[in-house]
């Protein structure tokens, strides 16, 4: 995961934060991810995503001049990547 990607909904924890402090959060993140994989339970706050439109051109004139992006929680992204790799 690119460390400089847009932060999640809280706006303060981009992937780089977790990469730099992995030794501090490693066990907590592992517990959250394994809990979801074993029990199917996820905190509601982890599943929140903001959708945003980013202009592709200097002066967009129609909806096709925008591209959508989803701002997800980093732990949610980790869970989705694990599920994708398992498929």
From first to last of the 87 residues of the chain, give the pLDDT tens digit.
665 665 555 555 677 887 888 899 889 989 999 999 999 888 888 888 888 898 998 999 999 999 988 778 888 888 999 999 988
The predicted model scores a pTM of 0.64
Q: Closest Cα to residue 52, out of 71, 30, 38? A: 71
The domain spans of the chain are: 15-86
* C-alpha to C-alpha distance for 65 and 18, rounded to whole angstroms: 33
């Amino acid at each position: 995961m690119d460390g400089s990607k847009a932060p999640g909904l809280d706006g303060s924890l981009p992937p780089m934060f977790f990469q730099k402090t992995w030794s501090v959060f490693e066990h907590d993140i592992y517990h959250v991810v394994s809990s979801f994989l074993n029990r199917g339970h996820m905190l509601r706050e982890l599943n929140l995503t903001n959708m945003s439109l980013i202009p592709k051109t200097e002066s967009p004139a129609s909806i096709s001049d925008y591209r959508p992006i989803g701002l997800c929680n980093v732990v949610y992204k980790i869970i989705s990547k694990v599920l994708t790799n398992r498929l």
